[in-house]
Amino acid sequence: MLPYLVRRLLIALPTLFLVTVMVFSIQRLLPGDPALALAGEERDPEVIAYIREKYHLNDPLPLQYYYWMRAVLQGDLGESIRTKAPVTEMILQKLPVTAELAVLSILVALAIAIPAGVLSAVRKESLLDYTANVIALSGLSIPNFWLGIMLILLVSVHLGWLPASGYVSPLEDLGENLKRMIMPAFVLGTGLAAALMRQTRSAMLEVLKADYVRTARAKGLAERVVIYRHALRNALIPVVTLVGLQLGGLLSGAVLTEQVFVIPGFGKMIVDAVFNRDYPMVQGVVLFTATAYILVNLLVDLAYALINPKIRLGGEAT
Amino acid sequence: MKRRWWLAAVLALGTWASAQTLRIGLVSDPDVLDPDLGRTFVGRIVFASLCDKLFDITPDLEIVPQLATGYTWSEDGRTLTLTLRQGVTFHDGEPFNAEAVKFNIERSLTLPGSNRRSEIEPIERVEVVDAYTVRIHLKTPFSPLIAQFADRAGMMVSPKAARELGENFGRAPVCSGPFKFVERVAQDRIVLEKFEDYWNKDQIHFDRVVFLPIPDASVRLANLQSGDLDLIERVAPTDLNTVRDDPRLELAAAVGLGYQGLTINLANPEPRDTPLAKDPRVREALELALDREAINQVVFNGEFVPGNQPVPPTSPWYIEELPMPKRDVARARELLKAAGYDRVAFTLMVVNNPQSIQLGQVIQSMAKEAGFDIQLNAVEFATALDLQEAGEYDAFQIGWSGRIDPDGNIFIFHTCDGALNETGYCDPEVDRLLNAARSASSFEERHELYRQAAERYLPDRHIIYLYHPKWFWGYRADLEGFRPFPDGIIRPEGLKLK
């Protein structure tokens, strides 16, 4: 296991290097000058010159890249041009928020997708199967933004059950935190559930046809045991892969939902940074997200071994 | 047991009610909270609760004392003497006095990256006369200076804190306003707390102010409707009736100081060889093709104010002798013919938000009838600024947020070397008149100079002014004392719950 881990982490290094080069250069290909975007309405030439100088925007690109990497390797992601706050501090401030939202959404998604997927596989082509499919597909096709606003109007404005938006840290007040997270997690979760449900369903259908399931049934095991202990466990492998990918995506992809529910997370931070051409911020966040993505994928691979002991990791077995 | 719980709940409610918090929904997250570095409009709303200024304005745009109690100009208009309010302290307990004013003005002029330097650039030096009197010496006469001191350039920060915190001052600002800084979570909230030693504390009725940035207009409104916010700025014109119809809410409005229009590239970076740039008759035809009233009705539900000058028709600086022309398609066609064109094509750059694009489309269809083939180019904002600066545009739909003194809406756009002259327009006579208006001190004299200047630059139509946005605020009906100001800033003085 350990050599496998080390090998995987070493392979990640060139990937990360490429990510840094790409985010650095693509961003600079964009039209729009951070100094101009940030100098405000007045655009005082002296202020613009000062910002360009301070953030090395006049230097050749390779030199700018060198400055950035040198700082990054020392653990310094720089400071936001717009708010002057250190990028690392901003990331650490936002990460728990988005991570909580991501985990809650995945939980909502799994709670919907797995039972629905199993049921529709077991009762294939029944009314239940069709209903589950229709519900799952509507979750996928309704835009998060719209669903979010509709939920706010119904639940908060008309019924007054939950606060419309905003964020309270769970460390401060867990109850208040959950009250504010239910709606966004539900909105994101229903969107994710569709793909997960479809994946569970098709994996289950595949597995239910397998020989060992037939054997299990032949042994006279209860159908419930066959389905949940033998079939579902194996069917979960592709589902876990998908969950891993979605979790990575949620870190940066919950932009619209965060916008609607005013959750101060990662997605909103990235969007604002891109529009303001806040280079250090965008670079820091993308680098961080890429690292997180790589790590989540690694964890997913490790999870395979836990779910299905037949999968062994590492080079010893060959 | 049950009763004890009940009692505890009542007590908790009691403390909550006595510690009143005002929650304000902003359109976006402010930038750095340092008055000398700040650039955003929303930042100015936060500053109004945090930092007092030398002067303030009334809702009728009259300049009134705040930290200064009075001023006198010297005969030659090159020396301004200010008397200061006594008994004022900063949030860190430091005294406010003439030394502090000198420090602040010098900081605005010398702090690297200061956005205030250009606003008070004519200042040569500041002299401390006594503890509560300062004399400001100018390189050239500059009558808009008092108006500049009624905005960020007049905000006073604690010299001690500014020296200690240096560039990081904006992360924990220390001023002398009604509320002091508590915390800021980027893109989430800015929390301020009542300053007990505030000189005007009788006017302050909340213990805390919390600013929450909520960019989406409908979400901002939903938060007001659900009671999660007490006051929101910039209600969308399409949502106004929702607020008007809701008995739990109130709506307030004020005509803003700024404008929106078409900026036409004549000679940036060098004279352009296009009909629109070369011939003022073509630009006159374009203006006559547009119906400002209809634009206001179609795009803004009739809620904004159509206009043809850098200041709104409600302003005392509006030139009555130059009224808004009516749409006249026949005359527009004649002008094009006279200029030697049957049809004229050009590209209109608009910012890629739904409202600007809709405005562009309305302009496009109106101008088409008069013989213009407009191609719309919707561009993301930062990119659009870049293209404008580089002169890579025919016409650009853009505006200006506006300043208290008319000089702030005119000078930098219409003088040959104006800081924001992106059209390449240059008329030495206009320069002379606008410079003279900066030196003149009486309203009548300045108004006359602005009239003469407008008579020259308006017919050139390098900027075709279209309309003046209004500010709209929504707030809970039991909030009283809200005063709408034309600068769009929310002032906490007098605000309280019934």
- Give the pLDDT band (50/70/90) at residue B131: very high
Helix axes B329-338, B354-370, angle to 10 degrees: 70
pLDDT tens digits for range B273-302: 999 999 999 999 999 999 999 999 999 999
pLDDT tens digits for range B254-266: 999 999 999 999 9
Q: Which tokens sit at B64?
A: 């009134």
CA-to-CA distance for A50 and B143, rounded, in angstroms? Answer: 28
Given its phi and psi angles, is residue B82 left (phi above 0), alpha (psi -120 to 50 degrees) or beta?
beta
Output A79 or A314, whichever has higher pLDDT: A79
Most B-contacting residue of A27, A29, A52, A84 (CB-CB within 10 A), to test interface: A84
B419, A43: Cβ pair inside 8 Å?
yes
Query: What value does the mean pLDDT take over residues B207-211?
Result: 97
ipTM for this prediction: 0.79
Lowest mean pLDDT among A226-230, B227-231, B234-238, B434-438: A226-230
- Coil, helix or strand for A159? coil
DSSP single-letter state for residue A26: H
Closest-CA residue of A relative to B121 is A44
Burial class (CB in 10 A: 0-12, 13-18, 19+), B73: middle
Please give the angle made by the CA atoms of B140, B144 and B149, to the nearest 5 degrees.
110
Torsion of CA A53, A59, A65, A68, to 10 degrees: -20
Closest-CA residue of A relative to B219 is A260
Most B-contacting residue of A29, A33, A44 (CB-CB within 10 A), to test interface: A44
B22–A contact, CB cutoff 8 A: no
First to last CA, chain B: 35
Average pLDDT, chain B: 93
Burial class (CB in 10 A: 0-12, 13-18, 19+), B224: buried
Query: What value does the mean pLDDT take over residues B323-337?
Result: 96
A84, B171: Cβ pair inside 8 Å?
yes
B278 phi/psi in degrees, rounded to 5: -80, -35
A31, B114: Cβ pair inside 8 Å?
no
Residue from the list B117, B186, B420 with its beta carbon closest to the beta carbon of A90: B186
User: What pLDDT was estimated at residue B16?
Assistant: 43
The residues, any chain, with a CB within 8 Å of residue B164's CB and separated by 6 or more, are none
Q: Please count the other Cβ atoms lying within 10 Å of the Cβ belonging to residue A300.
A: 18
Indicate the domain borders of chain A.
1-81+278-317, 95-276
Q: DSSP characters for B55-92? A: EEE-TT--EEESSEEEEEE-TTS-EEEEEE-SS-B-TT
- Give the pLDDT band (50/70/90) at residue B12: very low
Average pLDDT, chain A: 84
Q: Residue B434: which H helix or E strand, with range?
A: helix B428-439
A45, B225: Cβ pair inside 8 Å?
no
Burial class (CB in 10 A: 0-12, 13-18, 19+), B354: exposed
pLDDT higher than 70, residue A311: no
Instruction: Give the highest mean pLDDT range of A180-184, A237-241, A286-290.
Output: A180-184
Residue from the list A31, A50, A153 with its beta carbon closest to the beta carbon of B222: A153
- Number of Cβ pairs < 8 A linking chain A and chain B: 131
Sign of the alpha-carbon dihedral angle for A136, A142, A148, A152: negative
- Give the pLDDT band (50/70/90) at residue A313: low
Q: Which residues of A41-67 are buried (b: 16+ CB within 10 A; e: fewer)?
A: ebbbeebbebbbeebebeeeeeebbee
A275, B216: Cβ pair inside 8 Å?
no
A93, B118: Cβ pair inside 8 Å?
no
pLDDT tens digits for range A117-160: 888 888 888 888 888 888 878 877 888 888 888 999 899 988 98
Q: DSSP characters for B305-370? A: EE-SSSS-TTSTT--TTSPPPPP-HHHHHHHHHHTT-S-EEEEEEEESSHHHHHHHHHHHHHHHHH
Interface of A with B in 165-194 (CB under 8 A): 165-167
Give me the percent of chain B exceeding a pLDDT of 70: 96
DSSP single-letter state for residue A155: I
Closest-CA residue of B relative to A261 is B219
B354–A contact, CB cutoff 8 A: no
The residues, any chain, with a CB within 8 Å of residue B112's CB and separated by 6 or more, are A50, A54
CA-to-CA distance for A140 and A193, rounded, in angstroms? Answer: 8
- Give the pLDDT band (50/70/90) at residue B185: confident
Lowest mean pLDDT among A254-258, B292-296, B334-338, B359-363: A254-258
A36, B214: Cβ pair inside 8 Å?
no
- Give the pLDDT band (50/70/90) at residue A7: confident
Structural domains in chain B, sorted by start: 52-163 (3.90.76.10), 179-256+471-497 (3.40.190.10), 259-468 (3.10.105.10)
A32, B380: Cβ pair inside 8 Å?
yes
A32, B383: Cβ pair inside 8 Å?
yes
- Coil, helix or strand for A276? coil
From residue A250, how far is each of A136, A185, A193, A272 by CA, in Å?
19, 11, 13, 17
Q: DSSP characters for B7-62? A: HHHHHHHHHHHHS-EEEEEESS----S-TTT---HHHHHHHHHH--BSEEE-TT--
pLDDT higher than 90, residue B349: yes
B222, A156: Cβ pair inside 8 Å?
yes
User: What pLDDT was estimated at residue A312?
Assistant: 62
CA-to-CA distance for A197 and A109, rounded, in angstroms? Answer: 9
Query: What value does the mean pLDDT take over residues B95-105?
Result: 97
CA-to-CA distance for B181 and B174, rounded, in angstroms? Answer: 7
Give me the percent of chain B exceeding a pLDDT of 90: 84
The residues, any chain, with a CB within 8 Å of residue A264's CB and separated by 6 or more, are A93, A94, A97, A167, A258, B185, B186, B187, B188
Residue from the list A44, A262, A269 with its beta carbon closest to the beta carbon of B212: A262
CA-to-CA distance for A142 and A157, rounded, in angstroms? Answer: 21
Position B139, amino acid: K
Q: Residue A52: which H helix or E strand, with range?
A: helix A45-54
Measured between CA atoms, how close is A81 to chain B, in angstroms? 9
Q: Give A234's strand partners.
A: none
Q: Which of B239, B133, B241 has its CA nearest to residue A149?
A: B239
Q: Report chain B residues whose CB lies below 8 A from the CB of A160.
A: 226-227
CA-to-CA distance for B292 and B362, rounded, in angstroms? Answer: 10
Lowest mean pLDDT among B62-66, B216-220, B342-346: B216-220
- Give the pLDDT band (50/70/90) at residue B79: very high
Q: Which CATH class name applies to A95-276?
A: mainly alpha
CA-to-CA distance for B190 and B183, rounded, in angstroms? Answer: 6
Q: Give B468's strand partners.
A: B305
B112, A260: Cβ pair inside 8 Å?
no
Q: Are B324 and B274 in contact (CB under 8 A)?
A: no
**CA within 13 Å, CB half, B422:** 25
Please give the angle made by the CA atoms of A162, A166 and A170, to the nearest 5 degrees.
85
Instruction: Give the highest mean pLDDT range of A16-25, A68-77, A260-269, B306-315.
Output: B306-315
From residue B232, how far is each of B109, B152, B243 by CA, in Å?
34, 22, 11
Helix axes A87-122, A174-208, angle to 10 degrees: 40
A68–B contact, CB cutoff 8 A: no
Q: Are B105 and B123 in contact (CB under 8 A)?
A: yes
From residue A239, how far is each of A230, A247, A301, B182 by CA, in Å?
16, 12, 12, 46
Q: Report chain A residues whose CB lies below 8 A from the CB of B387.
A: 31
Q: Report chain A residues whose CB lies below 8 A from the CB of B119.
A: 42
User: What pLDDT was estimated at residue A269?
Assistant: 84
